[in-house]
Chain A
């Protein structure tokens, strides 16, 4: 379609674009490299880029010092769990709003979005107190941990804070499915359950998948509630990493290894989902 671009110009813009990209990526690259350096090399002056004895010791140390896998496991439980819970609640809700819109559907969507805009810090005190109260009332008496530093509490909170985004994303994807197809299924004898299970969900699978991915990322990186409401039992990687901000953790190579462990899984997921990201984060306002 377009005209030929002079190769010299293309080479120049290419070089510039790569320079900008590498500059933005450099802190991540540097962290990953440092995580393989022996501790003295990590703080060497002048800094060493690639020419050093690569080692996995830092990873072993990190694992020994703070049990990485416990935190990793909590991160997985919380991010996957809250996303799946949110999807289970959101798929029927998004179906309703996309295919049986009423006069107030738009207001409802807007209201859901508005709950997302409530600053977390505004409700920190009551949430903290409610969980403390649950600790006293239920955890102490029954042994079922639902209060502070519990998986249940964090799952519920993460589900609720991401629920509006999940509903919105699904809504924008569902709206692209022609209603006639669902009506055809209804004429073909499908019940509501059949309709959602056999027609809507498979058709919307790409949309559901990207909603899933984005929300796993958001839940994984959530750092306000997880830091403030967990101690150890339910603490995910955000808590793990803040443990390294204290002075005794100030070994660059170890810090880098811990950071790499905390970000690597989600960085890979992020690369896969970047195309859908825009739509999810702008609530369909930019496609």
Chain B
């Protein structure tokens, strides 16, 4: 079991309110990602749940029990830190066994669980090494191993992949997702990378300046962002925003259209512009179109071999049912 409920939880550091009171319900077994730009309070929120910081107001419930004043060790949660926070003076085996040792578990049971975790994480050959002798990905797996042996109510991940290189990051992303598939334990995962959020989560919590902007499944956020912030944050490349007359024509202060929902054509379409830069990725081409009179640049995701080059004139047509309309305060209309 691992249902985590926040009721009016707030955090102030002195005068500064980092997190205004917020409510959030994370159901048992879900994979919940906190995403937002740096400084949005997502890590602080995670540390509040972990008990590494005190709440300034509100209650934190774990499986319906008030855990607001419970020390971190007693909350039954496991955490994987950004720096992995492995104990450098202990072997991999001792690192993974540490929480079990602290819980006073018998030696045989401890060894059995460590071996099991090592097997699952492909760490068996490294059990007697020190963390300093491992690669980044292996260290990451040790940190995860240390978390899973305790069989916690929920896992907390604090930007666990940000210290890995791009290729490893993709691999670990899949490993963690598979781990969740297998364990079905609640996971709360903090990242600033919306790609990680989209690919891993079944629930995404978008945070901005300590406020929850929207909670929903990846596709809900993609299809129906509640405001301009979420619309701009979720999706890559970013959504194009157009204000002024064109927006007014749609009865809105601003309209948004994702690059993949604009069709380019060399000779006919709604908007006319000039190709500035064409980024050829092979499978796709990102066109950065200027001089449309709508916005400084409109990004378009086109097929790989579209055959448009910088300086060419291009006509753009948005898919009408994919146009998002926003009010002056940023809310979705």
Contacts and interface: CB of A to CB of B under 8 A. Distances in A.
Indicate yes or no for A touching B, C-beta below 8 A: yes
Given A181-B87, A183-B52, A194-B102, A188 B146 contact: yes
A187 B50 contact: yes
A202 interface: yes
A184 interface: yes
A221 to B, nearest CB: 32
Contacts of B146: 184, 188
A178 interface: yes
Given A183-B52, A188-B146, A190-B102, A203 B89 contact: yes
Contacts of A202: 89
A199 B99 CA distance: 12
Nearest to A184: B85
Interface stretch (B1-9, B76-84, B184-192, B319-327): B76-84
Interface string B45-86: 000001010000000000000000001111001110111011
A180 interface: yes
B115 to A, nearest CB: 19
A185 interface: yes
B103 interface: yes
A186 interface: yes
A81 B82 CA distance: 41
A60 interface: no
A9 to B, nearest CB: 40
Contacts of B77: 187
Interface string A59-102: 00000000000000000000000000000000000000000000
Contacts of A47: none
Chain A interface size band reads 10 to 19
Interface string A16-57: 000000000000000000000000000000000000000000
B98 interface: yes
Contact of A180 (B72, B85, B88): B85
B81 A186 contact: no
Contacts of B50: 187
A186 B83 contact: no
Contacts, number: 63
Contacts of A232: none
Given A194-B102, A203-B88, A203-B89, A188 B83 contact: no
A199 B73 CA distance: 15
Contact of A191 (B73, B79, B82, B88): B73
Nearest to A190: B102
B102 A183 contact: no
Nearest to B97: A188
B52 A178 contact: no
A190 B86 CA distance: 14
A170 to B, nearest CB: 17
Contacts of A191: 73, 102
A189 B79 contact: no
Most buried by A among B50, B72, B85, B99: B85
Contacts of A184: 79, 81, 85-87, 146
B30 to A, nearest CB: 20
A103 to B, nearest CB: 9
Given A183-B52, A194-B102, A203-B88, A188 B81 contact: no
Contacts of A189: 73-74, 99, 102-103, 150
Interface in A140-183: 178, 180-181, 183
B78 to A, nearest CB: 7
Contacts of B99: 187-189
Contact of A190 (B73, B81, B82): B73
Contacts of B52: 183, 186-187
Contacts of B83: 178, 180-181
B171 to A, nearest CB: 23
Most buried by A among B72, B73, B81, B89: B73
Interface of B: 50, 52, 71-74, 77-79, 81-83, 85-89, 98-99, 102-103, 146, 150
Given A178-B83, A180-B85, A183-B85, 7 more contacts: A178-B85, A183-B52, A187-B50, A187-B72, A187-B77, A188-B150, A190-B73
Interface of A: 178, 180-181, 183-191, 194, 198-199, 202-203, 205
12 contacts: A178-B83, A180-B83, A181-B86, A181-B87, A183-B81, A184-B146, A186-B73, A187-B50, A188-B146, A189-B99, A194-B102, A198-B98
Q: Which 5 A-B pairs have the closest CB atoms?
A: A188-B99, A184-B85, A189-B102, A180-B85, A189-B73
